[in-house]
Amino acid sequence: MSNAADNPKLDPRPGSNTEKDPDDWVSGDEPMTGAQASYRTTLCEEAKVEPPGSELTKAEASRLIDELKGRLGR
């Protein structure tokens, strides 16, 4: 019989998989998504900083969004 050590789906208190370091993303090297670009622009406007170029990867955009959210106290 399987237990939680063998199958994480059986763990009564599973860890969260909703947050993952962008360095560990399989698709982190792909171009940022349209949603990331839009949110980045909005946050840059609110933080009164110039948005970086549009050639960011998904991982880079995620890090920038996190940094801007931190600056804005979110």
pLDDT tens-digit map of 1-12: 556 566 766 766
Asked whether residue 9 is assigned to any structural domain, the reply reads no
Q: How far are the Cα atoms of 20, 22, 29, 49 from residue 26, in angstroms, in the given order? A: 11, 9, 8, 29
Asked whether residue 45 is assigned to any structural domain, the reply reads yes
Asked whether residue 15 is assigned to any structural domain, the reply reads no
Structural domain harbouring 69: 29-74
Asked whether residue 13 is assigned to any structural domain, the reply reads no
Asked whether residue 20 is assigned to any structural domain, the reply reads no
Asked whether residue 24 is assigned to any structural domain, the reply reads no
Ranges 2-16, 23-37, 49-63, most confident: 49-63
pLDDT of residue 17: 58
Q: What would the mean pLDDT of 12-32 be, rounded to a whole number?
A: 70
Asked whether residue 48 is assigned to any structural domain, the reply reads yes
Looking at the structure of the chain, the number of domains it has is 1
pLDDT of residue 48: 94
Q: How far are the Cα atoms of 38, 40, 53, 54, 56 from residue 33, in angstroms, in the given order? A: 9, 10, 14, 10, 9
Asked whether residue 23 is assigned to any structural domain, the reply reads no
CA dihedral 39, 43, 45, 46 (to 10 degrees): 140
